[in-house]
């Protein structure tokens, strides 16, 4: 078993611990605050998901940006940064620029990194740190932590129930049609769009696969043109009306697990990425051209 696969399997326990930690943590955004969430790569996609969840929970306007694209002219009550390594250049530069102007919160896996001094408050999720270059459990644990801090969200399961779904997602066999496909398109609506982005990235990182991701309702505005036999349309969360008929019409394979929590469904996509990587002889722990953290030289 690869290290990535082993880390994927620990996510239910990590989420439960995240929910417990969120209940005790002081420094999460308060209801009514105008908040921006930021990160790079996978962390940015988790930021997109959390921003949509926070607004769905009625806690206030919430935006998400890649750290390199943060709009310096906008005013926020709090900025939340997600950085597994605590060393990512763009995140640290942004936090430095915001110091003294707006309260900042960072989520990290490593308490011995510069982010500890760069942010006003830090949530250390070190039990979810990873040895693998590819992010899996830290990203989902960070989102579970932030999600748990929102309390009840209409139409979204509590984190404890998501962890139960995650246990099944870890063990159930992946469909042969999905494993044997040549192309995968991931779709989501609201907060699950961030998960779709992350699923596609995971497949590209670990397996070098041809994957794309879109808001689910945009799929019929062009992306459906690449769907056909041997190609998958994978929907996180609620399946838009009529989409299954359209995928079937063009001969594609539809994946839609509406009964499962979408974050748990992301685990299945992570497992698929590892399975495909191993089938190609790739090392999912150390993907080509990637490092654990992007640190830019001055």
Rg of the chain taking only CA atoms, in angstroms: 18
What pLDDT is attached to residue 188?
Answer: 98
Predicted confidence at residue 296, as pLDDT, reads: 60
Can you say whether residue 177 is alpha, beta or left, with left for phi > 0 and alpha for psi between -120 and 50 degrees? Answer: alpha
- 123 within 8 A of 149, measured Cβ to Cβ: no
What is the band of 219 on the pLDDT scale with cuts at 50, 70, 90? very high
Domain range spanning residue 255?
172-280
In order of 5, 89, 238, the CA distances from 258 in angstroms are 24, 38, 6
> Does residue 100 have a pLDDT over 70?
yes
Q: So what's the pLDDT on residue 144?
A: 98
Q: Based on the fold, state whether residues 21 and 108 are members of the same structural domain.
A: yes
Domain presence at residue 298: no
Tally of structural domains, the chain: 2
**Judgement on whether residues 142 and 179 belong to the same structural domain of the protein:** no
Task: Enter the tokens of residue 25.
Answer: 């943590």
pLDDT reading at 292 higher than 90: no
On whether residue 54 sits in a domain, the answer given is: yes
Domain shared by 113 and 217, yes or no: no
* CATH number for the domain that contains residue 195: 3.40.50.10490
Q: Express each pLDDT in 153-183 by its tens digit.
A: 999 999 999 999 999 999 999 999 999 999 9
Q: Could you tell me if 152 and 247 lie in one domain?
A: no
Judgement on whether residues 143 and 178 belong to the same structural domain of the protein: no
Q: Is the domain of 118 the same as that of 85?
A: yes
Note whether 136 and 213 are same-domain residues.
no
Domain boundary among 100, 122, 156: 156
């Amino acid at each position: 078993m690869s290290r990535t696969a082993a880390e994927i399997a620990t996510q239910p326990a990590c989420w439960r611990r995240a929910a417990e930690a969120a209940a005790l943590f002081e420094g999460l955004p308060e209801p009514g605050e105008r908040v921006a969430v930021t990160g790079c790569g996978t962390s940015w996609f988790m930021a997109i998901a959390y921003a949509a969840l926070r607004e769905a929970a009625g806690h206030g306007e919430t935006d998400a940006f890649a750290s390199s694209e943060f709009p310096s002219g906008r005013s926020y009550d709090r900025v939340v940064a997600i950085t597994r390594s605590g060393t990512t250049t763009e995140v640290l530069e942004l936090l430095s620029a915001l110091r003294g102007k707006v309260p900042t919160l960072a989520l990290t896996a490593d308490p011995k990194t510069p982010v500890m001094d760069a942010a006003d408050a830090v949530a250390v999720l070190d039990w979810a740190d990873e040895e693998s270059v590819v992010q899996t459990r830290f990203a989902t644990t960070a989102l579970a932590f932030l999600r748990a801090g929102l309390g009840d969200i209409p139409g979204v399961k509590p984190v404890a129930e998501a962890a139960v779904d995650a246990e099944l997602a870890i063990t159930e066999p992946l469909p042969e049609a999905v494993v044997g496909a040549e192309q995968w398109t991931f779709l989501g609506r609201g907060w699950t769009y961030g998960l779709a982005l992350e699923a596609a990235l995971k497949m590209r990182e670990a397996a070098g696969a041809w994957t794309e991701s879109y808001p689910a309702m945009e799929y019929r505005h062009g992306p459906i043109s690449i769907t056909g036999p041997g190609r998958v349309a994978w929907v996180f969360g609620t399946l838009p009306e009529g989409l299954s008929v359209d995928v079937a019409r063009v001969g594609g394979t539809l994946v839609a697990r509406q009964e499962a929590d979408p974050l748990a469904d992301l685990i299945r996509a992570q497992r698929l990425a590892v399975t495909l990587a191993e089938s190609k002889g790739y090392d999912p722990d150390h993907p080509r051209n990637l490092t654990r953290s992007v640190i830019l030289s001055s």
